[in-house]
Amino acid sequence: MGNNLDRRDFLKAAAGTPILGAFAYTATRKGKVDGSRREELLEQAGGPEKTHPFMERKYKKLPSYQGNSDTINIGIIGAGSRGKDHLRALGLFVPEELTAEVKQELAGREPLNVRCTAVCDLYQPNVEFAVRASGGTAKAYRTHQELLAQSDVDAVVVATDDHWHAPVAKAAAEAGKHVYVEKCMTQNIHEIYDLRDAVRKAGIVFQLGHQNRNSAEYDSAMNVVARGMLGDISLIQCYTNRNSNSGAWFRDVPKIHGPLDAASGPRNLDWEQYVSNREHRPYDPNRFFNWTCFKDYSTGLSGQLLSHEMDLINMIMELGIPASAFASGGTYCYKQYQAIVDANGEPLGTDEPVPAGARTRPDVPLLVRQWPDVLQVVYEWPDRGLTVVYDATLGSQFNRDQIYLGSEATMKFDGGVQIYADRRSARYADWLASGRVTPDRPMISYRNLSGKGVEALTSATAAWSLSKGLLYTYRGGRRVNTTYLHHKNWLEHMRANDTDTLCNIGDGFQEAVTAHMGTASLLTGRRVHWNPETEQMTTGEGEPLEQFRDGWQL
């Protein structure tokens, strides 16, 4: 009887064990079912696997090279806010920025094996910052010409204001230095040709600063496009939405500023050099620190934000330069800004609330925006049957996702990549009829970084993170810095003596022409065409665009 009891006891004790078995069986089966549905979906949605040409470029195995262990000496030209980002991406931090978290992130990176040997900036505090970040290895140079004459500089990062991008990059190429230059590649049209010629002639390794070419979520998008899952894509829409003073490039002017040749007061910036390739004007801190608002130094929305969107679309769709561009826009929201100080005379940030007793800042004049803050550009590729619309306002931060509208399906970026079957699709008609797929929910949803899988959603938590795109920024708890990846790509190509970087001079040519076609159209009020034979922008009648200067030159 005791035996019986023990056995019964044991059965009762182990009652849960078969449930574990059932769980394991069900989980395996679910994995198989999800997996086969995945295969089937991809098979039927897109036909056989096809590789997007850019994917081959992106994941190309570089030939083994010698001198891998040699440190590459970098010069930083322009060490303002973006230049400081570059130092950090290169792993160079001032001591106070080296927090435990930063150290941990650095430990997870492959070392780039670079040294910053030179720095040039027209604003003295930026120079001091860069020298400290370099760990003392960088020497400061007053002009980029002096810096480029140094033999201990192999390559330069150009993060100046836009109107110095091309002149500095060109001089660097001519001096035989490899170049990483920020977008927009040039500030005007003729510089595009000059820079391309100089880079090609010198044979240097060139990288344009569209670092989001490294984001792995677009691998999925390229896969979708390469396999033709969307059918005929007739319209792509892309957007910029912002709504703050700093977002509209009304930025903080430092408390202490003044040109080197000032009769009195602080002297910490080289105004004469800054305007030396543009119309000479008396010192204006807004023109120096808030250059993005001015036609002499920037191209406004088209160079700053349109160029990112259009470069991404060009990468995914392989469009090249559009046949035509037509732009419209205006200055509606952030027309002007007066810098202020608080009651104690301390400068206030442009997005800080205005306290009682605030008054006009005496050393900073009224900032009046020259480039529009609302801009629409319509680009056409008639031979592809495609129109791309860029649609921007700096007066509303409502989020809109880049969207590709095709005859069979629509693709939307919201951190991941979502594919919606079209209600009238022929290819997905059976699925739609059976209710297996509905037009208002993603048919396929990519979430992973490597572009390998199709999402099979599990819990509400995962679904939510997916919709916010947060899975991508923090992967395994680690932030992936795309600027670091872009530098890594540039340096690897230098070491392999290969000029086909992720955003090479050919990509840069297309980026700059596309952006400036929009700007030229905005300023002339006419549709601007592109002649691929002569590589010239023309009017609708095929005439070259006449030279004009409205604070911006062709």
Partner 1 sequence: MADKSGLGETLKNYSGVQTFLIAFLRVVIGWHFLYEGYVKLSSDAWSAAGYLRAAPGPFGPMFESMVSSASMVGVIDAVMAWGLTLVGILLILGLFTRSALLVAALFLLMFYLSNPPWVGVQFMPGEGSYMVVNKNLVEMAAVLVLLVLPSGAMWGFDRLFARR
* Amino acid (one-letter) located at 428: Y
Instruction: Tell me which stretch binds partner 1 (CB under 8 A): 6-14, 60-68, 74-82, 109-117.
Output: 6-14
Give the x-and-dash track for 473-502 against partner 1 (CB under 8 A). Answer: xxxxxxx-----------------------
x/- letters, 425..464, toward partner 1 (CB under 8 A): ----------------------xxx--------xxxxxxx
If one counts every other C-beta atom within 10 angstroms of the C-beta of residue 224, the result is 25
From the list 18-26, 190-198, 418-426, 514-522, the region that binds partner 1 by CB under 8 A is: 18-26
- CA neighbor of 522 nearest in space, from 359, 300, 313, 367: 300
Strand partners, 378: 326, 389
Q: Which is nearer to partner 1, 219 or 422 (CB)?
A: 219
Find the length of the chain: 554
Q: Pick from 373, 236, 242: which is nearest to 310 by CA? A: 236
CB of 97 to partner 1, least distance (A): 15
Examine residue 14 and tell whether it contacts partner 1 (CB under 8 A). yes
What is the distance between the alpha carbons of residues 250 and 238, in angstroms, rounded to a whole number? 24
Q: Does 470 bind partner 1 (CB under 8 A)?
A: yes
CA distance 111 to 437: 46
Least distance between partner 1 and beta carbon 410 (Å): 21
Taking each helix axis from N to C terminus, what angle separates 217-226 and 307-317, rounded to the nearest 10 degrees? 50
Q: Locate all alpha helices (DSSP H) within 236-355, ordered by sequence.
A: 271-274, 285-289, 301, 307-317
Least distance CB 26 / partner 1 (angstroms)? 9
Candidate residues 7, 190, 255, 468; the one interacting with partner 1 per rule CB under 8 A: 468
Identity of the residue, 294 or 484, whose beta carbon is nearer to partner 1 in the bound complex: 484
> Binding segment for partner 1 among 20-28, 167-175, 232-240, 282-290 (CB under 8 A)?
20-28
Using the CB atoms, write b or e for 438-456: b if 16+ within 10 Å.
Answer: eeeebbbbbbbeebeebbe
What are the start-end ranges of the E strands in 324-447?
Answer: 324-330, 336-337, 340-341, 359-360, 367-368, 374-381, 386-393, 403-406, 409-413, 417-421, 444-446
Q: How far is the CB of 94 from partner 1 (least distance, A)?
A: 19
Q: Does 17 bind partner 1 (CB under 8 A)?
A: yes
Q: Hey, which residues between 25 and 44 contact partner 1 (CB under 8 A)? A: 27
Query: Shortest approach of partner 1 to residue 491 CB, angstroms?
Result: 24
Q: Please list every residue from 109 through 138 that binds partner 1, using CB under 8 A.
A: none
Tell me the closest approach of the beta carbon of residue 39 to partner 1, in angstroms.
Answer: 18
Helix axes 482-496, 81-89, angle to 10 degrees: 60
Nearer to partner 1, 62 or 470 (CB): 470
Q: Is the dihedral of CA 139, 144, 149, 154 positive or negative?
A: positive
Q: Residue 18 or residue 95: which is nearer to partner 1 going by CB?
A: 18
Site membership for partner 1, residue 10 (CB under 8 A):
yes
Q: Which one, 260 or 449, has the nearer CB to partner 1?
A: 449
Least distance in Å: CB of 447 to partner 1? Answer: 6
The minimum distance between CB 14 and partner 1, in angstroms, equals 7
Q: Considering beta carbons, is residue 389 or 463 the nearer one to partner 1?
A: 463
Residue type, 383: D
Q: Which is nearer to partner 1, 1 or 356 (CB)?
A: 1
Alpha helices by DSSP H, 160-240: 162-174, 189-202, 217-226
Q: Which is nearer to partner 1, 22 or 366 (CB)?
A: 22
Q: How far is the CB of 446 from partner 1 (least distance, A)?
A: 11
Q: Quick check: 98 binds partner 1 (CB under 8 A)?
A: no
* Amino acid present at 88: R
> Quick one: CA dihedral 401, 402, 407, 408, positive or negative?
negative
Q: Using alpha carbons only, what angle is made at residue 439 by residues 435 and 442, rounded to the nearest 5 degrees?
A: 100
Whose CA is closest to 371, among 279, 281, 242, 249?
Answer: 249
**Near partner 1 by CB under 8 A: residue from 59, 69, 100, 533:** 100
Residue 323 in the binding site for partner 1 (CB under 8 A): no
C-alpha to C-alpha distance for 116 and 41, rounded to whole angstroms: 50
**1 is a site residue for partner 1 (CB under 8 A):** no
Segment interacting with partner 1, rule: CB under 8 A, options 9-17, 133-141, 155-163, 175-183: 9-17
> How many CB atoms neighbour CB 151 within 10 A?
7
The residue within the footprint of partner 1, chosen from 3, 4, 20, 264 (CB under 8 A), is 20
| Chosen residue from 81, 104, 328, 531 binding partner 1 by CB under 8 A | 104
Region near partner 1 per CB under 8 A, out of 46-54, 97-105, 267-275, 318-326: 97-105
3-state secondary structure of 210: coil
Of 337, 332, 336, 334, the residue nearest 347 (C-alpha): 337
Angle at Cα 154 formed by Cα 153 and Cα 159, nearest 5°?
80
Is the Cβ–Cβ distance between 72 and 491 less than 8 Å?
Answer: yes
Site string for partner 1, 391-430 (x = CB under 8 A): ----------------------------------------
Q: By C-alpha distance, which of 238, 183, 192 is closest to 212?
A: 183
**Residues binding partner 1: number (CB under 8 A):** 39
Asked whether 141 and 119 are in contact (CB, 8 A), the reply is: yes
Name the residue nearer to partner 1 (CB basis): 396 or 458.
458
Cα separation, 315 vs 325, in Å, equals 19
Contact footprint for partner 1 (CB under 8 A):
9-10, 12-17, 19-20, 23, 27, 100-101, 104-105, 447-449, 458-465, 467-468, 470-479
